[in-house]
Structure 1
Amino acid sequence: MQLGCTYLVVRDMKGSIAFYEALLNRRAESRKPERWVEFHCGNTLALWNPEFDKELIRNSSDVSDHFNEAYLNYKEESGLRYGNNAILNFNVTDLNAEYQRIKSLNIGAVSEIFYINVVRPYYCFMLEDPDGNLIEITGDYKPE
């Protein structure tokens, strides 16, 4: 078995696309951007808008063209939680340069640079996306 991709459930698709395009410095790829986009950044990071499916279910004349009964039951019974379900970790070659870049983008709350030495020593900073998902960015860092 191989991991196909990691995807985040997002409320504001346009805002989240803009956030991740700025963070990753690349365009999202999609055939249906109001429902699903992908970023190829080492592995695949995808954003999914569950409200798209709900609208399609509500407004479709023949919902069976899009979904089977099992999916419809699942959507009806399952609760959805936004934000802080996972922490994405990105590794960069120059942590200080990336920290300055991210701060200048002004796309979300950014922590100070942390030093952590539990399993092994490393430096990182945290960034929060529009849904409250945490992003840890690590890399080579020389303290000033």
Structure 2
Amino acid sequence: MLQLGSTYLYVNDMDKSLDFYEKLLDIKVTSRNFNRWAQFNFGGNCIALMNQSFDAERFKNNEHLDEYSEDYLDEYRDFHITYGNNFVLNFYIEDLKAEYERLKTLNIGQLSKMMYLNVAGPYHFFTIKDPDGNTIEITGNLKES
């Protein structure tokens, strides 16, 4: 049976994305491998950031190619990424309104309005965009004041 190793996102600017995700998740990055890879661990789960331009720059300059297999070079030498909105990360929080206000104060990305739907059951959520335009959905309990 396959087991999920990590979910990773291609990012265009590692430092900008690390800053965004550290603020969004309210934790520091768990580990980082140069400007190529970084990950945030949540117990047995992981979200990672992958900067493919790290490899692309090496390929372009013919540097450190011995660190890659020929098959990897054949597959990824001309790899092109279209950034933005290729996935949705969904997070849950107990107090949705407080989290909305926290992210609004941080001003780290474009926030949607607080939304509601009731298709299979009541569902409150909002979204925020990361630096590459990916949508992060945050849902939880909407505690009335």
Q: Same fold (TM over 0.5)?
A: yes
Query: Hey, what's the Cα distance between the residues in 2 that align with 1:136 and 1:33?
Result: 29
Deviation at 1:30, TM superposition (A): 2.3
Distance in 2 of aligned mates of 1:13 and 1:132 = 14
Which structure 2 segments of 5+ residues have no match?
A: none
In structure 2, the partner of 1:50 is 52
Which residue does 1:81 correspond to in 2?
82
For residues 2-81 of structure 1, the aligned pairs below 5 Å read 2-41=3-42, 43-61=45-63, 63=65, 65-81=66-82
Q: Secondary structure at the match of 2:104?
A: helix
Q: Which runs of 5+ in 1 are unaligned?
A: none
Is residue 59–residue 77 contact of structure 2 (8 Å, CA) maintained in 1?
no
Per-residue CA deviations over 1:16-54 (Å, capped at 9, x if unaligned) read: 000000000111122424111001135200000001011
Q: Match for 1:136: what amino acid?
A: E
Specify the SS of the correspondent of 2:131: coil
After superposition, where does 1:109-124 map in structure 2 within 5 Å? 109-124=110-125
Q: The residue matched to 1:72 in structure 2 has which SS? A: helix
Instruction: Tell me the CA shift for residue 143 of structure 1.
Output: 4.7
> What is the number of residues matched between the two proteins?
143
Alpha-carbon distance between aligned partners in 2 of 1:82 and 1:99, rounded to the nearest angstrom: 25
Distance 1:87 1:61, change over 3 A: closer
Identity of aligned residues (%): 48
Could you tell me how far apart the structure 2 residues matched to 1:62 and 1:129 are?
Answer: 31
Q: How many angstroms apart in 1 are the aligned matches of 2:64 and 2:89?
A: 38
Higher mean alpha-carbon deviation, 39-48 vs 75-84, is at 75-84
- Distance in 2 separating the partners of 1:37 and 1:87: 19
Cα deviations by residue, 1:82-119 (Å, 9 ceiling, x for unpaired): 11110000000110110100100000000111001112
Q: How far has the Cα of 1:62 moved from its partner?
A: 5.1
Q: CA RMSD in A?
A: 1.6
